[in-house]
Amino acid sequence: MHEIHLKGRVIKEGTAVGRALVSPAPIGFLGGVDPDTGEVVEKGHPLRGERVAGRVLVFPTGKGSTVGSYTLYRLARNGLAPAAIINAEADPVVAVGAIIAAIPMVDQVDITRIHTDDLVEVQDGTVRVSPQ
């Protein structure tokens, strides 16, 4: 398969490479992701049991409490943060979390073109996807 190039809006500049972890559902970090393990713990969530550490986390948008920003920061402090975040539409909570945690983030991306375990490189507003 051919490499896919997508363009998005930069929320937090930076470069990261990792395997995609894609959710069709929004993610709420407060109570949804354990900051001490990096595991998605929200009941009924499609990614429940998956770990976000080092992955390029792809999801439509964020949800939930503003404390979710601090949860992203705690993940980063614990070495368990995603390598990058890609959203269809950024939520302020996730955006602030990515900024304070120094996690490269872009939005306004067609996330349907990215699948779990694709190799993804985020470099500022460019997303390169190498399908599996």
Stated pTM of the model: 0.97
* Closest by Cα among 108, 107, 118, 123 to 2: 118
Pick the catalytic residue: 23, 65, 69, 130?
65
| Tens of each residue's pLDDT in the chain, 132 residues | 689 999 999 999 999 999 999 999 999 999 999 999 999 999 999 999 999 999 999 999 999 988 999 999 999 999 999 999 999 999 999 999 999 999 999 999 999 999 999 999 999 899 999 998
HEC profile for 56-90? EEEECCECCCCHHHHHHHHHHHCCCCCCEEEECCC
Active site residue 65: yes
- Domains of the chain are 4-130 (3.50.30.10)
Amino acid at 48: R
